Structure 1
Amino acid sequence: MTTSLQSRWSVLGALCFMMWVGLALPIYGGSVLGTYMTSELHWERSALGLLIAANMTADGLAAPWVAALVTRIGVRRCLFIGCILMGAASVALATWVSAPWQAALAFGVMGLAAAFISVIPCQTAAAAWFGHRRPFVLSVLFAAVGLGGFVFVWVMTGAIQGSAIGYRMGCWVFFGFAVVGLLVALFFVRDKPDAERLEAWENADRERLSKHRSKLNFPQPAGPSGTGLRVRDALRSPALWAIYFCMFATTCGSAFVIAHAQAHLRDLGHSPVAAAATIGIISAALVAGNLGIGSLAQRVAPRSAYFGALVLFGLGLLTLAYATGPVGLYGYAVIYGVGFGAVQVGPMVLLSSYWNLKVFPMLTAIGLLMQTAGAALSPVLAGIYFDHTGHYEPVLVTIVAMVCVSMVLLRVIGPPKSKGVEALPAGSHAGVHADTHAAR
């Protein structure tokens, strides 16, 4: 049993590393790389927004395609494809790119690579290897992204500043991690465990959790299949669209931070090193948000926990708008980081709680498309606005207003009716009922 357990957790460790390569590196490392690239090549701020938008747009638009390929060719092969694409884009950035449109194309390929490496394949593999521990495992996957972000900010900053070739050294850092990711996927990732071993693990988890389940509001895991619920049935639920709007609004905020926060902080008088340091602080605080929302959801119901996450996220963005002095600088990083970590996990917990695994991957992919719209619009429009006015504050206030609308929708529109979740197995309605009770 010990060997089996070790293999199970080694797969999770490998998936966490792939989340590093596929999500943390493009987002946090890409933020540092894009900032230094546009500065060294003397491009306008709208070009900086274009890079991040191209990355996130390609990632989101590829999500349904990747969801279908994960089912057809498996998680492992999708990871191979993603690492190869990321390596190719890194080489292009280091050796070929000289104009903003070329950089946007390369960042777009990186976004496509991220779709093949990160959320959909890693969550699918984790769901195959874990049942009753699935909520915890999802939190761990996103917490790994926060830890990876903390590491990559300093790795990228140190590599670029300490090299004679400037931002191009950051491109080779991307290439190196793509190669390591390919090896990790080859030797450590498996699509699914042996059925008998999985059953033994689940029986042990079920026995352990049965002693505490009556005290928790957290839902039991939804099964791998349903009794007729289809994606189009789930799409009729107002609760689903409320979650999607929350995802859209928060992505507008996170895309702004990734693309423009460092430049905005420099405009407020902070040094480039101090501005880059906030990304590392955000990454560390993000881990607390990732893990904290799972624990909080067990006590106050998942939807209420997500509401609290939105409050922190909006407050962090509002602090960023006027982050003068050390208190504003580091206060923004901590508040926003915790809120951002929580709003990453919150919608995935709700989607997996309200609907079963038969529709969960595609609902996740559609949600990523909603996020893609925010990622495409926010950084580009913010860059254009800055080029015309010379400041960012009204953009941030507008995004905070959208987050407030999200909070209202989340409170007014309750969980789906019993008809919409009837495909969940026996016992899994507990979290939905608790959530409904908490909302009253």
Structure 2
Amino acid sequence: MKKPRIFYGYWILAACFFITACGVGCSYLSFSFFVTPLQAAMGWSRGEIMAAFTIFLMCMGTSGTLAGRMVDRYGARKVIPVGAFVITIGLAVLSRMDSLWQYYIIYAVIGISSAAIGIVTLSCVVSHWFSKRRGMAIGIMSMGVGASGVIFAPLIAVILLPNLGWSHTYLALAAIFGAVAIPLSLFVIKNKPADLGLFPDGMEAHDTVSIAAASAAAAEGSSLKTALATPAFWLIASSVILTHAHAGISQSVVPHLGDLGFPAGIAASTISITSITSTSSMFFFGWLCDRIPVKFACVIGLGAMALGILILINVEPESPVWMVWLYAVIFGFGMGSWMPTMSMLTSTSFGLASYGAIFGMMTLFQNLGGAGGPLLAGYLFDVMNTYHWAFIIILGLVLLAVPLVMLVRRPTPRPKTVLLK
């Protein structure tokens, strides 16, 4: 077979980038922009509206393992288009809902379907297409998360909602998402290089043995059941829960800085700076994972995150603005490390045979930590009227994740038992 001028894996990577950007932008990121319009139009409280976001997150988290299992069994090419189609319909139906129970059910469906087009399924695809450059590829794909903020935040807040209203904005998001994600998932996504007679990273035939050998190598690894019985799995899972308590920082930093007397514009700018920094650092950490042991790259990211939190803890009402921005840069740099390092830590520890199911379990722990951090911060603020001690506890949790990651060892495969007659 004649080698294409451009390795098809790069088309796969581009498709995964845009599906990630549109998926995050139209469902996860867009949610907060509808809170005030829905409150005014429907008369719902903010607590009632935010409950839909909790439902969305929990449904997406608990469905991650199922989505991973389906990808392992049927291939991403059959799973991703279904999720993309259902999300498109869900966003369109949101434009017609008129009661709170409908709102909750639709977001539950969107959450479940988001698992089919999320980081589990897309990183599984990318991992099969790239081997030597897998870390860099995962990093580029992950940049779609940050790109969603750059693209969709101004699109929704400045253009769509002011001109169309909440109902037609949901329709517009459905049209945008469907126009991008459905064609890409149907016509560009391919499960493995062997499906097209190619090799990972665009290698030539003389660089490896055969397509069959490459496919067999990709199929090696632990099953979910086997992985669950290893210390490595629970060390990684525990570190994921502890690390994602940082969501308590992300969701509280704007009101915290407001309480300290910083202008709303300065407080809001930390979100933009964090998003931009984390986007660029995703590529960096992907590149780094290809050059040093993955757990060392992960520790660097955790260290940066901890340093950022420490700076924030020491920000006082009279502190200069550059100190706030320094927190945002360093914290965002550390945040960007998660997707590349955890994806690589999972694949290097357990292989690709059941990567979807195993990494799906990791996203469940991610959502547990992500839900617990804001709850902790909110509770302690209500009790103490300050976020100070919540931030200190979250700093401790992030630091506790460091030795857990360092203790991870790749499980030793069990020798196969041979029965002799």
Task: Using structure 2 for the length normalisation, give the TM-score.
Answer: 0.81
Indicate conservation of the 8 Å contact 2:139/2:286, yes or no. yes
Tell me, in whole angstroms, the C-alpha distance in 1 between the residues paired with 2:310 and 2:104: 29
Q: Relative to structure 2, which stretch is displaced further, 81-90 or 137-146?
A: 81-90
Equivalent in the alignment of 2:244: 251
Tell me, in whole angstroms, the C-alpha distance in 1 between the residues paired with 2:382 and 2:26: 28
Structure 2 residue 170 is the aligned partner of structure 1 residue 185: no
From the superposition, tell whether residues 383 and 87 of structure 1 become closer, same or farther in structure 2 (CA, over 3 Å): farther
Equivalent in the alignment of 1:409: 404
Give the deviation of 1:49 after TM superposition: 5.3
Secondary structure of 1:131 counterpart: coil
From the superposition, tell whether residues 41 and 295 of structure 1 become closer, same or farther in structure 2 (CA, over 3 Å): same
Output aligned runs, 1:389-404, within 5 Å: 390-404=385-399
Q: Relative to structure 2, which stretch is displaced further, 402-411 or 185-194?
A: 185-194
Indicate conservation of the 8 Å contact 2:124/2:355, yes or no. no
- Give per-residue Cα distances to partners, 1:192-232, cap 9 Å, x unaligned: 34556313865349959xxxxxxxxxxxx9932237x4333
Secondary structure of 1:120 counterpart: helix
Q: Among residues 269, 276, 282, which one is paired with 1:290 in the alignment?
A: 282
Equivalent in the alignment of 1:435: none
Give the deviation of 1:349 after TM superposition: 1.2
Secondary structure of 2:131 counterpart: coil
From the superposition, tell whether residues 92 and 405 of structure 1 become closer, same or farther in structure 2 (CA, over 3 Å): same
Tell me, in whole angstroms, the C-alpha distance in 2 between the residues paired with 1:186 and 1:116: 14
Letter in 2 for 1:315: L
From the superposition, tell whether residues 35 and 128 of structure 1 become closer, same or farther in structure 2 (CA, over 3 Å): farther
Letter in 2 for 1:402: L
Output aligned runs, 1:14-413, within 5 Å: 14-34=15-35, 46-47=47-48, 50-96=51-97, 99=100, 103-159=103-159, 162-163=162-163, 165=165, 167-168=166-167, 170-180=169-179, 181-195=181-195, 197-199=197-199, 202-204=202-204, 223-226=217-220, 229-254=222-247, 257=250, 259-270=251-262, 274-320=266-312, 322=315, 326-383=321-378, 385-386=380-381, 390-411=385-406, 413=407
Indicate conservation of the 8 Å contact 2:136/2:289, yes or no. no
Letter in 2 for 1:30: F
Letter in 1 for 2:20: M
Gaps of 5+ in 1: 209-220, 424-440
From the superposition, tell whether residues 153 and 405 of structure 1 become closer, same or farther in structure 2 (CA, over 3 Å): same
Give the deviation of 1:291 after TM superposition: 1.7
Tell me, in whole angstroms, the C-alpha distance in 1 between the residues paired with 2:387 and 2:99: 27
- Give per-residue Cα distances to partners, 1:22-81, cap 9 Å, x unaligned: 235433333444477568878666556534432221111001211222244432332222
Give the deviation of 1:249 after TM superposition: 1.8
Equivalent in the alignment of 2:419: none
Indicate conservation of the 8 Å contact 1:82/1:113, yes or no. yes
When the two chains are superposed, the root-mean-square deviation of aligned CA atoms in Å is 3.6
Q: Relative to structure 2, which stretch is displaced further, 286-295 or 48-57?
A: 48-57
Letter in 2 for 1:175: A
Letter in 2 for 1:146: G
Give the deviation of 1:422 after TM superposition: 8.2
- Give per-residue Cα distances to partners, 1:241-279, cap 9 Å, x unaligned: 22111211222223652x444444444445555544433
Tell me, in whole angstroms, the C-alpha distance in 2 between the residues paired with 1:367 and 1:128: 19
